[in-house]
Chains A and B, each alone.
Chain A
Amino acid sequence: MRHVVKRALTGIVAGVFATTAMATIAAADVESTDPIKLTLHDWSGQLINTQIMGAILEEPGYNVKYVQADYIAQFAGLKTGDLTLAMEIWATTGQEALDEATATGKVVNAGETGLQAIEEWWYPLYMKEKCPGLPDWQALKACAGEFASAETAPKGRYVGGPVTWGGFDDERVEALGLDFEVVHAGTDAALFAELESAYQRKAPVILWVYVPHWAPAKYDGEFVEFPAYSAECYADPSVGVNPDMAYDCGKPRGPIWKAAWAGMADKWPGAYKAVQAYTLTNEEMSAMVGDVDLDGKSVEDVVDAWMDANETRWKGWIAH
């Protein structure tokens, strides 16, 4: 009798803990079944990127877990191993934090995602009629007034990104002698709310836009062409258009990096190799972001579609 009860109890316990048990069986051929924790942020591109990576890692049987985390705050978790992998660290906004983290030796740069970030001043196409010299930056000198608002007139109004993004727009305006006032948005959402509002009214607007992002797909517009960025232009006042000041050029463009906890390569060597091999292109990403943000498809569906269409590609990444 006691035997029966005991067996029943074991059965119940086994049922409750089926999750762990099954994971162990399914993943007998991977180095560790501990969850690999991928961070999720709040923009669709990153969600897609991360979930494709997660889906690929699940194929050979790795246990993948997604964790919501802040873009910069996540480095604290990556250092301790609380988090394993961050799929989008933009050279344009996160380089400083990434360098600081890799310098501690607890975080490693797992290579490029293949995506190239562009960040620059951007205007809707209808502004070209009011300011015909665009996209050349020299045109902004003459028609700053076209971009003015009641609060900034006669100066033009440029909406910059959150202060934490850096970007040196205040310095750029001064160095290039542009008659603009820089207004900093607090978040990405506020930034694009300005664009949406102005675009609905066909009102003047010029602001910080970055790609890959859904905005250039939704609104017709162009980036301003500033003198090309160089490290010397930022560091050395004598280089560039203005001999007396630094920052007299455009913003740097750069790759989007993958960052991982340093222990990942030892604990899941196969997974780490797949992460290093993984790349996408800007075109692929823009199309997928558009599917999600503009056509209202779910991230899961878009990820599934990519996985089906690119089977040979990702099989190559995990075959190492």
Chain B
Amino acid sequence: MRALSSRPLWVFGALLALTWVLARHGAGWVGAEGWLGDGGLEWAIKYPTAWVIPLKDYVSAAMKWLVEEAHFGLFTFTEFTRAISWAIEQPYELVRALLAEGFMDGPGRRAKQVFPPFSWLTITACVVALGHYARDWVLAAIVGLAFLYLALFGQWESAMITLASVIIAVPIGVVGGLSLGILAYRHPMFDRILKPVLDLMQTIPIFAYLVPILFMFGFGPVSALVATVIYAMPPMVRITTMALKAVSPEIKDFGVMTGCTRAQMTWRILVPSALPSLMVGVNQVIMLSLNMVIIASMIGAGGLGFDVLSALRRLDIGGGFEAGIAIVILAIAVDRLSQAFSERSGHVKPDVPGARWPARHPRATAVLLVMIAAFILGRFLPFFQTYPEEWWLTTGDFWDNSVKYLNINFYDEFEAVKLFFLNYFMLPLKRFFLGIPWPWACLMVVALGYHFGGWRLAAMNAVMTIFIVTTGMWEKAMVTVYLCGSAVVIASAIGIPLGVLAGTNARAGSAIGVVIDTLQTLPSFVYLIPVVMLFRIGDFTAMVAIVAYALVPSVRYAAHGIRSVSPELVEAGVVAGCTRWQLLTRIRLPLALPEVLLGLNQTIMLALSMLVITALVGTRDLGQEVYIALTKADTGRGLVAGFSIAFIAIIADRIILASARSARVRYGLEEAAHG
């Protein structure tokens, strides 16, 4: 870190001390009025309500106009969005019927199935075949076991409903992301407009735009799908643009020389050569879609997400865990499959000429045979159609009892840990942030922006902080900063050493990898309720949940940074006689610093995105504001609070990226000209 601030180190120190003094004495945090209050400057501590711009009311009014009045001449805006909704609903209903529910005849409860969905055997056979096709028998076994698990543990039908929504959301996300990415690649101007929009799409909490989506697309699974796509698409756009830019100039020149048209250039040359990177984007879309299942189920997606919610609603912790683990298993299976496909893309085996169709397509033939057999046998023996309920396994009691055991026997220990953190870490931090006068804080944010990114970043920071202040969100924003800040500190303190361990020791690395994968895909709601039981409602519980979720990138990036240090440099260190400790502290860590900073950046992003989830525990920050707006269906309130969260994220992101860049410049990893 020294490199970041070697010149004005004392300036930073002095400013920090001054801020502390202002927060400590100006606001009078011990309860007594501070001198800012005495001097008639209360407005600097608490932004006066009279000065708040009622932006949220304007937004709500605009939304109302859009939904109720807006007209394109031939049709209204609502008719337009409902048409889209209809177009998405048709394929979704079809896939859902095929995978989970079958085709029904007659209304409601007395409906009879005219045609059953695919049997669990058929679908399992299908994924096994896909696994074998994409890589080998090992992968086939992994995905096959994963799907068997879903059947054995009674999660089949919900899992298939979830899978159906992924099957619909992913292609929309991929095609949309690809087209936007290509457009951005072709037109730098569009790229410049798109970038901040993508930033917002990734940082505005989903809850904030659920209400407008419900208004536009109606109640039901389609709105959930639309929200999923908005959330899952940005990485695809970014990766597309990046991958196309990275296509080597020789290949492009080749295209130009052979006289390709623009379309040919894109679809025959650029996209195929960027395919491996593009598949990484597809994988991201899939994983993010699966991340959304809980929130999507709140507005009608059903499936595993709904099972988690309803289990926890009746405090069936075991049931919640089982459904949550089913999400993890489904995610792992789909992830491994799509990764295998991305590695496979490019290697196409030539067909054996002259052979008959079954011989050329042994896997498809096998799946078809299983399908026909399961269908016919399933008419007489229900086992072949649906895995019987009497044979379901359950681990629910185990989870219930574990939490109960911890609660009864270790509650005092948990309480002691909690109080220690609260008294010596979180509360002082909270007082500090809430005590800073807002004009001073704005000034500091702008100054930081200027220092790291020049006047442009400074101006951007100024606009964003002023937005937060003038919409009356300041106090909640500071609670947000305090909560996320303390979570990020702790997540980094745990995550970076773990990442270093994973990066230097292969065996530890694979064990940590499993934990990290699980933490990333396990819906946070699953562990939120047990955490409440052990730590009770309060900021500490919220922080624990945020840390568990935001830990992932700090481990990943630290491990990646350590691994990607060039072996020659490590070798040189060994030759020079460094001890292992010296190798780590003198060579590996400093060179991994830019990566670690990127990890920190991602940790902050994830911490902020967890806020709306922790609002379910009962915090008093911007996340709560968004959540309240959702339950009150108040578009303006939700969006204003959502934008405030997004702006905090963007300010943190820009400052850290700029400082990471200056670190790279100092270590000679990048030319100064870029900055």
Contact = CB atoms under 8 A, between A and B. Distances in A.
Contacts of B529: 189-190, 193
Contacts of B617: 185-187, 190
A229 B652 CA distance: 49
Contacts of A293: 314
A58 B109 contact: yes
Given A186-B617, A190-B618, A62 B631 contact: no
Contacts of B408: 200-201
Contacts of B302: 68
A75 to B, nearest CB: 7
B537 A159 contact: yes
A22 B113 CA distance: 12
A116 interface: no
Nearest to B106: A22
A99 interface: no
Contacts of A97: 632
A159 B533 CA distance: 13
Contacts of A22: 105-106
Interface in A241-295: 293
B362 interface: no
A190 B616 contact: yes
Interface string B189-232: 00000000000000000000011001100111000000000000
A154 interface: no
Interface centre among B309, B314, B630 (most CB of A within 10 A): B314
A165 to B, nearest CB: 9
A197 B537 contact: no
Contacts of A203: 411
Interface string A52-69: 001100100111110111
A194 to B, nearest CB: 6
Interface in A57-110: 58, 61-65, 67-77, 82-83, 97
- Chain B interface size band reads 35 or more
A18 B219 contact: no
A311 interface: no
Main secondary structure of the interface of B (DSSP, over half): helix
A11 to B, nearest CB: 13
A238 interface: no
A226 interface: no
A164 interface: yes
A287 to B, nearest CB: 16
Interface in B110-152: 110, 114
Nearest to A202: B408
Interface centre among B538, B615, B618, B632 (most CB of A within 10 A): B618
A305 interface: no
Given A22-B106, A83-B219, A163-B628, A200 B407 contact: yes
Given A73-B211, A149-B536, A150-B419, A82 B299 contact: no
B488 to A, nearest CB: 21
A85 to B, nearest CB: 13
Contacts of B215: 76
Contacts of B633: 70, 72-73, 75-76
B501 interface: no
B632 A183 contact: no
Contact of A186 (B411, B534, B616): B616
6 contacts: A43-B313, A67-B219, A150-B419, A190-B617, A196-B533, A197-B533
Given A15-B114, A19-B106, A42-B309, 18 more contacts: A19-B104, A22-B105, A37-B219, A39-B219, A42-B310, A43-B313, A44-B310, A68-B301, A75-B633, A77-B219, A83-B219, A163-B624, A164-B628, A183-B618, A189-B313, A194-B533, A194-B537, A197-B532
